[in-house]
Every structure is written in C-alpha cells, then in structure tokens.
Structure 1
Amino acid sequence: MAGKRDTSKDGLGNKIQTLVLTNFKGLWQLLQSNEFIKRKVNKTLLNSLIYKIPTRPNAYSMMTLDEHIPDTNIPKKTDTYTSWESLNDRTYTGRHLPPDPKLNAEGNLPKVEDLAILFRKRDGKTIYSGKSTMLFPYWVQWFTDSFLRLNHYNKLKNTSNHEIDLCNVYGLTRKQTHLLRSFQGGKLKTQKLKRQDGVEEEYPLFYYADPAQDKVKPEFEGLYEPINDEKRQPIDKKQYMFAMGVERANVQIGYVMLNTLCFREHNRLCDELARNYPDWDDERLFQTSRNILMAIILKIIMEEYINHITPYHFKLFADPEAFTKESWHRPNYMAIEFDFVYRWHSAIPETFNYNGKPTHIVTSLWNNKMFIDQGLGALMEETCSQPGTKIGLFNTPDILVELTELPSIRLGRQLQLASYNDYRELCGFPRVTRFEQVTGNEFAQEKLKELYGHVDKIEFFVGLYAEDGRENSTIPALVARLIGIDAFSQALTNPLLSPNIFNKETFSPVGWEILQNTKTVSDLVNRNVPPSGKKYKVTFDL
C-alpha cells in the first residue's frame, strides 16, 4: 500500500532546486531561447550536479581489497589509504567511498536469500513505467555495457577502457577492431539477410563456422571468448550469432538491434565520406566514420537520453568548450558505485509484444532470428510502442531475481560497500533516520524494518531502489544524483569532445554537418532502414 513519503530528510537545498527546475516552464523556455543565456544556464546546472561529490581522481579503488600482492604469498593489508598504484592502475575498479568492513561483517546484515522478497513482484503484478518505452532499458543495457565491465574472473577488477567508445561495436582492442573491418572503403564486415517478407537488410557477419562444434570462423578467431551463457545455447540460436565487439553483444534482441544500427550507420557514413572525399583511403574513411558515430552517440546520450531521465523543464545539452577548466575535467576512471546504479533489471518487462503477440522476455535472449525476421524498423517501432517497467523494488522478473538482484547484493558485501545512508551523505542528501523517509510504500517500510532493523544498516544496492521515484522521472533521487555526477563528468571528458578535437577538421565538413543534424535515435534508425516511404516511430518517451 502506498502512502506519502516523509520528505523531511530531502534537504532544503535539494527541495528548492527540484521545485525551481520542475516548475516555471515558461521561464525555462524563455531562457533557452537565448543562446548565450542557454549556455550559461546549462553550464551552471551541470556543474551543480557534478560538484555534489568530491571530483576525480577518487582516493580509493578495489586494489585495497586484493588479498595478495601479485606474484607473492604476502597478504596485502586492507587498510584504506591512497597509493600511486590505486590512482593509476585502472584495471582495478574505482570507488567513491572506502570499504566498510563493520557494516558487511558476517551476521550484521540479513541473509541474502531473505532479501529476495524486496525484488519479487507482489501477487505477480507488473508495475509499468508511466514515462518510458522499452527502448529505454534496451538503450541503457547496450551503452553502459561498453564501459561498466567487471572482470568475470576477479570482481575487484574490470575490462573497461573507461570511455564511451562503442567497444560493443568496434571491440576493446585494435586487434579486435581489425577482425571486424573489411578493409575496403572504411567499412565494417556485413552481410545481407532477408526478413520474413523477403526484403533484404544489412547485418554483421555470423560468428560461427560450425555452431554444432562451437567452431568460430577463422576470420574471427581471437575476437572474444564466448561466455558460458552463449556456449549453452542450442544450434538453432548459435547459427545466427553475429560477430560484434564484445562477448555479450548477442545477449538480447534489443542489444543486437542497437549494435546492428551502429554497423549500418558506420558503413553509411563511409559511403557519404567516400562520395565527398574520393581521394581518402580505407584507413581515413574508417577512422573518421568511427569518430563521427561515437560523437553522435555521445550527443544522443547527453541530450536525448539524459533529458528523458530528468523531470526538468530545462533541456541539458553537450557543450564541450564550457568545461575544460573545471576541476572535475580529469581522466575517466569508472567507479563501482556507477556500476550498481545501472543495475536496472526491474526496467525490463517479463512479457512483451513481439510481432503483435505476447512473448516471454527469455525468448528474446540469444535469439537473433527474432530480429532478422522482423527487421530493424519494424522491431524498433514495436519496441517503442509499448512501455518498459518501473525501476524499483517489487518489480523484477522472477528469473532475474536469482540471476541478477541477489548476486548484486552478494557482490556489494564482497566489496564491502558503505551503507545507503553513507552514500546519501556523500551525494548531498541528509541521512535518513526513519524508514518512512526512504519510501512511502508501507509494505516496503515494513519489510525494510523487519530485515534491517535500523536505517543505518540498509545496504547501498537495496537503498538505491527502495527510494520512491520522482514525479515525471524514470529513476529515484539517489540513483539520479549518482548518474548525473558520473555520466556527465565522464562523457564530457571524452577525447572527441575536446575543443581542439570537436571541429570540422576532425570530422570533416560533411561529417560535421551530419553530426550537428543528428539529434535522436530516430534520426539514426530512419536513415538506416530500406526505403519504404514510411517513417518509423522511435522514442524513449511513451
């Protein structure tokens, strides 16, 4: 049963900022009508978000939890302090707050299995989003998977390049990128496949030469090591797996759809550049097209995606020149907390419409044939014609509670993450003192109190999603605060957005014009589908 949340611990400054940004729509429209004022306001608002917590470099990393010094049997002290290695060895994931062994001591927290009740649906009822289409969770999984990449063998470490670099399209290394390139006209390797209606569309090449024997095509040897989930798939699914940049790229049709869109756009850009610059060789066509596409995706993330998340009337935008002298403008180093705020398993509906029929989400896993049969435009439009589900407790599909939610809690304890209240304080929110200040949901209050006993014991991961969502927003307040801090401070530092790089010389005059005129995912989709005279509806917004 939903009640009214006690807002006494929201913080006066936070309340005033939210009140001003979510009201006075006419005033905000007026401010945005003047380019000079718009840029000033944009800079002020973004800085106000990013400076909520101490800026990079973070003082801590997961290195402090490593059990042994490499190549020795000497135990490594777990004292929390800053070292040169922890500041620079980015194979260890960073962290905003130091470990809290006391909170995570054995017996101090409820059994992980007992917390499943917080994530399972009540009476099997799904709570749908009132704002987001299914494109929203698809997009989130796809783009975050390129930089939030924990190491499968050592969760203290990562395999990230710490940039939004489209490694899910191009690969993590130069060697992997070369395996995906055709070395003709700057293009990536692709093939034509027929939809159910017989129309041909462009897709990446298939990965397996002999799926029955798990034999990879020789041209893709070394591209990536398939994860166990892929290895377990039947032959009728494996035969349609595509060769793409990372090991999870075939995981779900939404992911594959967005990767395929980027393959097509890259090759389309190559054609555009080749027509306008006939003297360019394969290498220059490839590198320039790659730069343009990455800049387009960065722009969409910061302008379409972020503005979908926020409830504000002022529309934030990318302005690379405005921030180069800010103290937060430092090299990227992904933090573990950023990984946890993007575990939005509750945003995926358990059942969705595919080709007009209710379909269980499990059917869409590792199933590229579903995508090929429909084609990009039709699948994208159907995706955008139905809602995603609400991010929060009591809304995760049953299959994902055991596979993702409970392992996330276990991982938080292994990494000795600080408490929910500690992270509230870090992010400029007063510490809560009562469960009613976390959520207005009376059942959630009851269960949190029963499980934890005191608000100071609520774990970071649980607290993130126990909070009520804000009006006209897709996510709760603490999740939004952490995303605002890390997303902007680590997107705007991308090398392609440096003032001396973000120009016509880097992208070419033709590429610069394409970049400036591409504002949405819809723009990308509708120029990368077979001509039909139809414009597909593509949007994050319901």
Structure 2
Amino acid sequence: MAGKRDTSRDGLNNKIQTLVLTNFKGLWQLIQSNESIKRKVNKALLNSLIYKIPTRPNPYSMMTLDKHIPDTDKEKKTDTYTSWDSLNDRTYTGRHLPPNPKLNDPNNLPKVEDLAILFRKRDGKTIYSSKSTMLFPYWVQWFTDSFLRLDHTNKLKNTSNHEIDLCNVYGLTRKQTHLLRSFKGGKFKTQKLKRQDGVEEEYPLFYYADPAQGIVDPQFVGLYEPVNDEKRQPADKKQYLFAMGVERANVQIGYVMLNTLCLREHNRLCDVLASNYPDWDDERLFQTSRNILMAIILKIIMEEYINHITPYHFKLFADPEAFTKESWYRTNHMSIEFDFVYRWHSAIPETFTCNGKPTHVATTLWNNKILIDQGLGALMEETCSQPGTRIGLFNTPDILVELAELPSIRLGRELQLASYNDYRELCGFPRVNSFDQITGDEFTQQKLKEFYGHVDNIEFFVGLYSEDVRQNSTIPPLVARLIGIDAFSQALTNPLLSPKIFNKDTLSPIGWEIYQTTNTVSDLVNRNVPSSGKKYKVTFDLHKE
C-alpha cells in the first residue's frame, strides 16, 4: 500500500533546489534564451551537484582489501589509510568511503537468499516506467560497459581505461583496435547482410570461423577471450556473433544495435572526411573519425541522456571550457559506488514486443539474428515505441534476481561497503531515522524493518533502490545524486574535451560542424539506415513523438 513519504529528512537545501528547478518553467525558458546567462547557470548548477561530495582523488581504493595478508594471520584486519599506490594504481577500483567490516558482519545481516523477495515482482506484476522507452536501459548498459568493468577474476580490480572511450566499439587496447580495422580509408572491417525484406545493411564481421566447434576467425584471434555464457551458446546463435571491441558486446540486442550504429557512423565519417580532405591517409581518417564520434557520444550522454533522467526544466549541457579550473577537474578513477548505482536490472521488461511478437528477454541474449532480420531502423523504432520498466525494488525479472541482484548484495558485503545512511550523509542528504523517510510504500517499509531492524543497518545496494522515484524522474534520489556527481565530473574531464584539444584542429572543420549539429541518438540512427524516405522514431522519452 502506497502512503505518503515523510520528507523531513530530505534536507532544506535539497528541497529548495528541487522546488525551484521543477517549477517556474517560463522563467527557465527565459534564462535559456540568453546564451551568456544560460552558461553561467549551467556552470553553477553542475558545480553545485559535483561539489556535494569531496572531490577526487579519493583517499581510498579497493587496494585496501587486497594487501596479501599471510595465511598464518588468523584475524585479518582492514586498515584504512592512503598510500601512493592506492592513489595511482587504477587497476584497482576506487571508493568514496572506506571499508566498514563491522557493518558487513554476516551475523548482523539478513541472509542474502532471504532478500530475494525485495527484488521479485509482487504477485508477478510488472511496473512499467511512465517516462522511459526501452532505449534508455539499453543505452545505459551499453555506454557504462566501457568504463565500469569489474575484473571477473578479482572483483577488487577493473579492466577499464576509466574513460568514456567507446572501447566497446574500438577495443580496450591498440592491438584490439587494429584487429577490427580494415586499414583502408580509415574504416572498420564490415560486411553487408540482408534483412528479411532483402535490403542490405552494414554490420561488423562475424567472430567465429566455425561456430559449431567454437573456432574463432583467425583474423580476430587475440581480440578478447569470450565469456563463459557465450561459449555455452549453440552454433545457430554463435554463427551470427560479431567481432566487436569487448567480450560482452554481443550479450543483448540493445548492446549490438548501439555498437552497430557507432560502427556505421564511424565509417560514414571516414567518407565525409575523405571527400573533404583527399590528401589524408588511412590513419588520420581513422583517428579523426574516432575523435568526432567519441565527442558526439559524450555530448549525447551529457545532454540527451542526463536531461532525460532529471525532472528539471533547465536543460544541462556540455560546456567543457567552463570547468577546467575547478578542483574536481582531476584524473578519472572509477569508483565501486558508481558501479553499484548502475545495476539497473529492474529496468528491462521480462517480456516485450520484438519483431511484432511477444518475446522473453532471455531470447534476446546472444541473438544477433533478431537485429539482422529486422534491420537497425525498424528494431530501434520498435524499441522506442514501448516502455522500459521502473527502476527499483519488486520489479526485477526472475532470471536476474539470482543472477544479478543477489550477487550484488554479496559483492557489497565482500567489499565491506558502508551503509546506505553513510552514503546519504556523504552525498548531502540528512541521515534517515525511520523507514517511512525512505519510501512511502508501506510494504517496502515493513520488509526493510523485518530484515534490518534499524535504518542504520540497511546496506548500500538495497537502500539505493528502496527510495521512491521523484515525479518526472527516472531513478531514485540517491542514485541520481551519485550518477550526477560521477557522470559529469568524469565525462567533462575526458581528454577530448580539454581546451587545447576540443576544437576544429582536432575534429577538423567539417567534423566540428558535424559535432555541433548532432544532438540526439535519433540524429545518428536516421543518417545510418538505408534510405527509404522514412524517419524512424528514436528517443529515450516515452511521450515524445
């Protein structure tokens, strides 16, 4: 039963900021009509968000938990201090708060298996998003996978470059990138495949030479080691898996759609650059096209994607030059908390329409034939014509509760994450002192009290998704706060956006023009599908025509 949430612990400043930004629409439109005032307000709002927590570098990293204590030590202690190695070794994931082993004592916490009820759907009912299409969770999984990459052999480490660098498209290393390149005209290796209606579209090459035996095409040996889930796929699925930048790029059709879109746009940019600068060689065409595409994706993330998340009337925008002297303008170091706020397993429906038919989400895993048969434009439009699901408790597909939600809780305990209340305090929210200050839903309150007894005992991961989503937002408040802090402070520090780099010399005059006039995923899609006179509907917003 839904009741009214007690807002007394939201914080006065937070309340005022939300009230002002979600009202007075006419005033905000007036402000945004003046370029000078708009830039000043944009800078002030972004800084007010990023400075909610202490700026990087963080004094701690996951290295704290990996100190090679001798096996003879019966009682392992977790010391929390800063070292030069922990500040600079980015193979270890960062952390905002130090470990808290007392909070994570198994004797003081509910059994992980018992917490499954918090994520399973109540009475089997799916709660759909009132704001987001399915493109929203597809995009999130795709772009975050380029920098939130926990090492599966050691969860204290990560395998990312700590940048939004499109490694899912280009590969993590120069060697991997070279395996994907044609070395002709700056382009990727590609092939033409026919849709069901016979029209050809451009895709990456296939990864396997012999799908039945799991033999990789020799030209892609060393690209990556396939994950176990891919290795278990039958030959009829393996034969359509593409050679792309990272080992999970084929995992689901949303991921493959966006990778295919970027491949086509990169190759399209190469053609545009070659026609404008005929003396450029393959290397310059490749590198400049890569720079342009990465800058465009960063812009879409900071403007279309972030503004879809927020309920604000003022539309935040990328303005790299405004922030270079800020104390938060530091080298990126992805944090474990940032990884946890992007575990949106509840965001994709268990069943949705695919190629006009009801389809279980499991069917869309490792199944590129769906995209090949339907084509990028049609599948993208179908994706954007149906809602995603609400992010929060009691809404995760059954297959993901055991595979994703419960392992997240176990990982939080293993990494000794601080409590939900500790992270509220870090992010500028007052600590809650009753369950009805987290959510107005009485059933959720009851279950949280039953499992944890006191609000101070609630674990970070559970608390994140227990909160009510604000009106016209897409995610709970603490999730939104942490995303805003890390997303902007680590996107705007991308080397491509630094003042001496972010210019026509780097992107080329024609590339600069393309960047300035590309604002949405729709812009990318509709110029990278076979010409038919049709404009496909591509949007994060469920209500946008």
TM range (shorter): over 0.9
Alignment-derived partner of residue 300 in structure 1: 300
1:393 aligns with 2:388: no
1:355 Cα deviation from its structure 2 partner? 1.4
Aligned pairs for 1:171-186 (under 5 A) are 171-186=171-186
Structure 1 gaps, min length 5: none
Letter in 1 for 2:7: T
Alignment-derived partner of residue 265 in structure 1: 265
SS of the residue aligned with 1:347?
coil
Alignment-derived partner of residue 251 in structure 1: 251
Structure 2 gaps, min length 5: none
SS of the residue aligned with 1:201?
strand
In 1: Cα distance, 2:262 partner to 2:197 partner: 23
Alignment-derived partner of residue 367 in structure 1: 367
In 1: Cα distance, 2:428 partner to 2:217 partner: 52
Alignment-derived partner of residue 274 in structure 1: 274
In 1: Cα distance, 2:207 partner to 2:355 partner: 26
Deviations 1:90-138 (A, max 9, x none): 0000000000000001211100000000000000000000000000000
1:199 Cα deviation from its structure 2 partner? 0.2
In 2: Cα distance, 1:270 partner to 1:63 partner: 42
In 2: Cα distance, 1:73 partner to 1:242 partner: 44
In 2: Cα distance, 1:301 partner to 1:74 partner: 49
1:82 Cα deviation from its structure 2 partner? 0.4
Alignment-derived partner of residue 191 in structure 2: 191
Aligned pairs for 1:262-341 (under 5 A) are 262-341=262-341
SS of the residue aligned with 1:493?
coil
After TM superposition, the structure 1 stretch with the greater mean CA deviation from structure 2, 148-157 or 58-67, is 58-67
Alignment-derived partner of residue 528 in structure 2: 528
Letter in 2 for 1:254: G
1:38 aligns with 2:38: yes
SS of the residue aligned with 2:6?
coil
SS of the residue aligned with 1:537?
coil
1:124 aligns with 2:148: no
Q: Is the 8 A contact 2:78 2:101 kept in 1?
A: no
SS of the residue aligned with 2:156?
coil
TM-score normalised per structure 1: 0.99
1:78 Cα deviation from its structure 2 partner? 2.4
Deviations 1:216-246 (A, max 9, x none): 0110000000000000000000000000000
Aligned pairs for 1:324-473 (under 5 A) are 324-473=324-473
In 1: Cα distance, 2:396 partner to 2:477 partner: 19
SS of the residue aligned with 1:6?
coil
Aligned pairs for 1:48-87 (under 5 A) are 48-68=48-68, 78-87=78-87
After TM superposition, the structure 1 stretch with the greater mean CA deviation from structure 2, 72-81 or 2-11, is 72-81
Count of residue pairs brought into register by the alignment: 540
Taking a change above 3 Å as real, the CA distance of residues 411 and 509 of structure 1, as seen in their structure-2 partners, is same
Alignment-derived partner of residue 90 in structure 1: 90
Q: Is the 8 A contact 1:253 1:364 kept in 2?
A: yes
Q: Is the 8 A contact 1:64 1:77 kept in 2?
A: no
In 2: Cα distance, 1:19 partner to 1:493 partner: 30
SS of the residue aligned with 1:346?
coil
SS of the residue aligned with 2:430?
coil
Alignment-derived partner of residue 114 in structure 1: 114
Q: Is the 8 A contact 1:391 1:465 kept in 2?
A: yes
Letter in 1 for 2:313: H
TM-score normalised per structure 2: 0.98
In 2: Cα distance, 1:457 partner to 1:217 partner: 52
Letter in 1 for 2:321: E
In 2: Cα distance, 1:89 partner to 1:510 partner: 39
SS of the residue aligned with 2:183?
coil
1:474 aligns with 2:474: yes
Q: Is the 8 A contact 1:194 1:373 kept in 2?
A: yes
Alignment-derived partner of residue 225 in structure 2: 225
Q: Is the 8 A contact 2:129 2:388 kept in 1?
A: yes
Letter in 2 for 1:535: K
Identity of aligned residues (%): 88
In 1: Cα distance, 2:249 partner to 2:521 partner: 19
1:77 Cα deviation from its structure 2 partner? 5.7
In 2: Cα distance, 1:215 partner to 1:59 partner: 45
Alignment-derived partner of residue 483 in structure 1: 483
Taking a change above 3 Å as real, the CA distance of residues 112 and 73 of structure 1, as seen in their structure-2 partners, is closer
In 2: Cα distance, 1:200 partner to 1:293 partner: 24
In 1: Cα distance, 2:3 partner to 2:179 partner: 56
Q: Is the 8 A contact 1:176 1:222 kept in 2?
A: yes
Letter in 1 for 2:94: G
1:213 Cα deviation from its structure 2 partner? 1.1
Q: Is the 8 A contact 1:6 1:436 kept in 2?
A: yes
SS of the residue aligned with 2:151?
coil
Letter in 1 for 2:505: E
In 2: Cα distance, 1:471 partner to 1:535 partner: 31
After TM superposition, the runs of 4+ consecutive aligned structure 1 residues lying more than 2 A away are 72-78
Taking a change above 3 Å as real, the CA distance of residues 77 and 452 of structure 1, as seen in their structure-2 partners, is closer
Letter in 1 for 2:306: I
1:349 Cα deviation from its structure 2 partner? 0.3
Letter in 2 for 1:193: L
Letter in 1 for 2:171: G
In 1: Cα distance, 2:533 partner to 2:481 partner: 42
Alignment-derived partner of residue 161 in structure 2: 161
In 2: Cα distance, 1:525 partner to 1:140 partner: 17
In 1: Cα distance, 2:46 partner to 2:79 partner: 35
Taking a change above 3 Å as real, the CA distance of residues 74 and 273 of structure 1, as seen in their structure-2 partners, is farther
SS of the residue aligned with 1:202?
strand
In 1: Cα distance, 2:84 partner to 2:168 partner: 31
In 2: Cα distance, 1:293 partner to 1:420 partner: 37
In 1: Cα distance, 2:113 partner to 2:539 partner: 37
SS of the residue aligned with 2:369?
helix
Alignment-derived partner of residue 516 in structure 1: 516
Letter in 2 for 1:187: K
1:356 Cα deviation from its structure 2 partner? 1.4
1:74 Cα deviation from its structure 2 partner? 8.7
1:73 Cα deviation from its structure 2 partner? 6.9
Cα RMSD of the aligned pairs, angstroms, is 0.9
Deviations 1:74-97 (A, max 9, x none): 978620000000000000000000
1:275 Cα deviation from its structure 2 partner? 0.3
Q: Is the 8 A contact 1:68 1:74 kept in 2?
A: no
Alignment-derived partner of residue 500 in structure 1: 500
